[in-house]
Amino acid sequence: MRAGNDSSDSNLYLIGFMGVGKSAVGRFVARLLNMRFIDSDHEIEERAGMTISSIFETRGEAAFRQMEREFILNGHPENGCVVSCGGGLPIEPGMREILLSKGVVICLFASEATIVERTSRNDKRPMLHAEDPAARVRALLNKRMPVYKKTGTGISTENRSMQEVASHVVRVYRHEIRRKALKNSKPNDAPQDESDA
């Protein structure tokens, strides 16, 4: 059942480590909100005419990160979209602030063990091409987690059904939309309500 478009139509950006379920959850949430689903990695592959792995191999990670930046800045509609972001996208300098300025950001989480188990099924993840993928996951998680936590409201996908996670995402999205609308409607010189602090 579709809930219909939210009046603001602000984009929703799903961030988090690879394997936490951003694309699967994003598609489900997009249906619930009657919005368009976009996967940043897929869009970049389509425009580059090659896979993410090939981009890494032939052009390098820096070129791929620049493609991600260009996609977020100018490569998708300004509203009406649920965007699944690549795991490293919010980590690059300035990207966190850009995402927050463009819409609502929600971070999906899962345990290290679950991420290792899920990503082991996929050989198309260039960041995990290592002798010890589990150690690589741990190192990347330690580096990225502080940024994830500062960027968006966190929701765990651990031992939860797709419907449960998607419903939680929709609730948080709508709460953030209401909060932003309330904040924007207040005069700059109005006294701040303590409950809003």
Instruction: Convert the pLDDT of each residue in 68-78 to its tens digit.
Output: 999 999 999 99
pLDDT of residue 135: 85
pLDDT of amino acid 8: 59
Domain residue ranges of the chain, discontinuous segments joined by +: 11-162
Mean pLDDT along residues 123-145: 75
Residue 6 is predicted with a pLDDT of 45
The pLDDT tens digits of the residues spanning 33-53 come to: 999 999 999 999 999 999 998
pLDDT digits (tens, 9 = 90+) for 139-187: 889 999 999 999 989 999 999 999 999 999 999 999 999 988 888 776 6
pLDDT at 152: 85
What mean pLDDT comes out for the span 105-129?
77
Q: Is the pLDDT of residue 125 over 70?
A: no
Non-local (6+) Cβ contacts of 141 within 8 A are: 17, 112, 115
Q: What rounded mean pLDDT belongs to the chain?
A: 86
Whether residue 105 is predicted with pLDDT greater than 90 in this model: the reply is: yes
Average pLDDT over residues 61-74: 95
Q: At what angle are helices 95-102 and 61-74 packed, to 10 degrees?
A: 20
pLDDT of residue 5: 45
pLDDT at 197: 37
In the prediction, which pLDDT does 116 show? Answer: 84
CATH topology of domain 11-162: Rossmann fold (3.40.50)
> What pLDDT is recorded for position 124?
60
Whether the Cβ atoms of residue 14 and residue 22 lie closer than 8 Å to each other: yes
Query: pTM here?
Result: 0.85
